[in-house]
Chain A
């Protein structure tokens, strides 16, 4: 609108533009995109990730921990911030199989780079990324080393922060469990049939286990 041939025309044009911005920031709410963070919060992205946590099923965090202390994540973690010691006592997993469990499972918060590789490599869906980002701490040594009690969070938390991913994991685990149960039942039935056709010698009744319910 201001002819370009006049010296200063561009300046006037720019001044009009900034004046429009200035007035617009008062009249047009869509221009002011600032989120005043501690008071105002916006919902996090579906794929937001910050720091890993350990998923547990049921109500008891330590008994329900899915982690089997296989140490794959410890080996794969690029900055080597996971530290695991296996326990000598085993505990049953969600399929009822006896599995190892971690005695110590620490992650160094100050070293973790939120790469999610531990999550990708875990074959047991035991470690997932949390979205919690207000992780500051006033103890820069012990406070930044997060142990397994602090890391353990229920599956419902996972379902809340990453609904889609949690639904997929839950479905898969449920299918696996159903398959394992079906297999166990089929095995039991086969065994029972075999027992019916050729009855076992007396005095050895334990060779056919009772079918699992």
Chain B
């Protein structure tokens, strides 16, 4: 009975933002098991919440995309179609798992696992609420990037082991894309590190708490460099997660399904899961870095709701934006993708670093606002002009089909 009471108390403390939520449960069980129980307490919620969020997102995404195209979307399974994910999950579980005869069986089997595990590990350092960071690493940001870049290996494993030219092409594209966009992703995050002077994600989130008496919370997205950094970070995160419009690695119309072409059944579902969890993780990081983490937007709202509610509300908003973008933009071409990364994103993120430095150095508020805005807006306009194709398209002529 004691442990159950402890567990309930732990749950209550976690949900109501009290410090050290694990303590009541850990105190109620024997000394020897405490470290193990502590780990389980950290891991279990992540394993429950985020796959469930993934399941819901797949349904909502299909409904949202449907509405964007003036369709209804799934509406058959369960109330208003919300149990569609259960049907999909059962389907993938019961489907035959086909492995090509020529495939490298071991690597083929390991690739989906090697994709999901690092993605799940990244959640370990995200502060979901005031006292809800699973591990409060001093170098949390570093850990996040180090672990999340392991997914590239998994993607290449999948493409290589399938022994299929489309898979390999998809994997090559994926690796090229992920490596290219890793740089702006890290550089955009670096601007926040320059300002806060810490790599601990909990500290970064706490630094954006509204000071009593102020009105607007000091989220970094409310500064010129923060806004630009946030936008660049989100574009890079979108490319990292292979989301539309950067879903070249799986472009159905050209390379069928890219690196997971030869996967079926639950392994395919794992790829799907890994991709979405990666998206959630990078959205969570964007929230922590730029959108104030678990903080409320206005000082007077702080404390209205438990801190984790703010975090998940922001996460839901970002997911909705990702769905919206997917419903709007067509897939870019490979050269456009690379051009955007190397000719626009990287120079822009470097300039964002300069702007963050300026922001830090310049003393007075109006001056640094003007200087940073001018620098970034000017660079955006100029780079945009340079990047936009200057070729004028003439009338289309049909030379042979007259």
| Interface residue ranges, A against B (CB under 8 Å) | 5-8, 11, 14-15, 17-19, 21-22, 24-26, 31-34, 36
A-B contact pairs, 6 of them (CB 8 A): A6-B380, A7-B388, A11-B328, A18-B68, A19-B324, A32-B70
Q: How far is the CB of B21 from chain A (nearest CB, A)?
A: 39
* Residues of chain A within 8 A of B344, CB atoms compared: 7
Which residue on B lies nearest to A24, using beta carbons?
A: B70
Q: Contact between A14 and B329 (Cβ–Cβ < 8 Å)?
A: yes
In the complex where A14-B328, A15-B324, A22-B64 touch, is A32 in contact with B387 (Cβ < 8 A)?
no
CB distance from B76 to the nearest CB of A (A): 9
The distance from the CB of B35 to the nearest CB of chain A, in whole angstroms, is 49
CB < 8 Å neighbour of B67 from A5, A21, A33: A21
Cα A194 to Cα B71 with chains together (Å): 79
B211 at the binding interface (Cβ < 8 Å)? no
Enumerate the 9 nearest inter-chain pairs by beta-carbon distance, A residue then B residue, closest first.
Answer: A7-B384, A18-B328, A25-B67, A14-B328, A31-B70, A18-B68, A22-B67, A25-B70, A22-B68
Nearest B residue to A20 via CB reads B68
B173 CB, nearest partner CB in chain A, Å: 22
Residue contact A26 to B67, C-beta cutoff 8 Å: yes
Interface: B325 (CB within 8 A)? yes
Task: Please measure, in the bound complex, the distance between the C-alpha atom of A32 and the C-alpha atom of B384, giving whole angstroms.
Answer: 38
Residues of A near B72 (CB, < 8 A) are 32, 34, 36
Chain A CB within 8 A of B365 CB: no
- The number of residues on chain B lying at the interface, defined by a beta carbon within 8 Å of a beta carbon of chain A, is 20
CB neighbors of A among B52-78 (8 A): 64, 67-72
The answer to whether A11 touches B329 (Cβ under 8 A) is yes
With A14-B328, A15-B325: A8-B69 Cβ-Cβ less than 8 Å: no
Partner of B381, one of A6, A15, A22, A34: A6
Question: Is A21 touching B69 in the complex (CB atoms < 8 A)?
Answer: yes
Are B70 and A18 neighbours in the complex by a CB distance under 8 Å?
no
Contacts of B383 in A (CB 8 A): 7
The residue of chain A having its C-beta at the shortest distance from the C-beta of B380 within the complex is: A7
Q: B327 at interface (Cβ–Cβ under 8 A)?
A: yes
**B327 x A18 contact (CB < 8 A):** yes
CB of B392 closer than 8 Å to a CB of A: no
Other-chain contact of A8, B64, B324, B384, B385 (Cβ < 8 Å): B384
Residue of A nearest to B327 (CB): A18
Nearest-neighbor residue (CB-CB) of B321 within chain A: A15
Closest to A5 in B: B385
With a CB–CB cut-off of 8 A, which chain B residues contact A31? 70
Q: How distant is B384 from chain A, measured CB to nearest CB, in Å?
A: 3
Docked pose: A33 CA to B384 CA in angstroms: 40
A7 to B345, CA, bound (A): 12
Binary interface encoding of chain B residues 301-322 relative to chain A, with 1 for a CB under 8 A from any of its CBs, else 0: 0000000000000000000000
For A22, the chain B residues whose CB sits under 8 A away are: 64, 67-68, 324, 327
Chain B residues closer than 8 Å to A34, beta-carbon distance? 71-72
B333, chain A: closest CB distance, angstroms: 15
Which B residues are CB-close (under 8 A) to A33? Answer: 70
A7 to B324, CA, bound (A): 19
Q: Is the CB of A21 within 8 A of B384?
A: no
Q: Which residues of B contact A25 (CB under 8 A)?
A: 67-68, 70-71
Minimum distance in angstroms from B150 CB to a CB of chain A: 31
Min CB distance B307 to A, Å, is 30
CB distance from B73 to the nearest CB of A (A): 10
Cβ–Cβ contact A15 & B328, under 8 A: yes
Q: Apart from A5-B384, A6-B381, A7-B344, what 13 extra A-B contacts exist at CB < 8 Å?
A: A5-B385, A6-B380, A11-B328, A14-B329, A15-B324, A15-B325, A15-B328, A18-B324, A18-B327, A18-B328, A25-B70, A32-B70, A32-B71
Docked complex Cα distance between A6 and B387 (Å): 11
Determine if B70 and A21 form an interchain contact, defined as CB atoms under 8 angstroms apart. Answer: yes
Specify which chain B residues have a CB less than 8 angstroms from the CB of A18 in the assembled complex. 68, 324, 327-328
Q: Which of B324, B328, B383 has its CB near the most chain A CB atoms (within 10 A)?
A: B328
Q: Which residue of A lies closest to B388 (CB)?
A: A7
- In angstroms, how far is the closest chain A Cβ from the Cβ of B213? 36
User: How many whole Å from B70's CB to the nearest CB in chain A?
Assistant: 5
Near A by CB (< 8 A), chain B positions 321-353 give 324-325, 327-329, 344
B328: A residues at CB distance < 8 A = 11, 14-15, 17-18
Report the minimum CB–CB distance from A2 to chain B (whole Å).
13
Give the nearest-CB partner of A14 in chain B: B328
Give which listed residue, B71, B327, B384, contacts A6 with CB less than 8 A: B384
Nearest opposing residue in chain A for B384, CB measure: A7
Q: Which residues of chain B come closer than 8 Å to A6, judged between CB atoms?
A: 380-381, 384
Who on chain B is nearest to A33 by CB?
B70
Interchain CA distance A26-B73 in the complex, whole Å: 13
A18 to B322, CA, bound (A): 13
Contacts of B69 in A (CB 8 A): 21
**Which residues does chain B contribute within 8 Å of A11, judged by CB atoms?**
328-329
Separation of A32 and B381 alpha carbons in the complex (Å): 39
Interface centre among A7, A33, A36 (most CB of B within 10 A): A7
| Chain B residue with the shortest CB-CB distance to A28 | B70
The A-contacting residues of B in range 97-111, CB under 8 angstroms, are none
Which chain B positions have C-beta within 8 A of A17?
328
- Please give the distance in Å from A92's CB to the nearest CB on chain B: 54
The residues of A that contact B325 with a CB separation of less than 8 Å are: 15
> What mask results when residues 376 to 402 of chain B are scored 1 for a CB within 8 Å of chain A, else 0?
000011011101100000000000000
Instruction: Looking at the assembled complex, report how far the CB atom of A21 sits from the nearest CB atom of chain B, in whole angstroms.
Output: 5
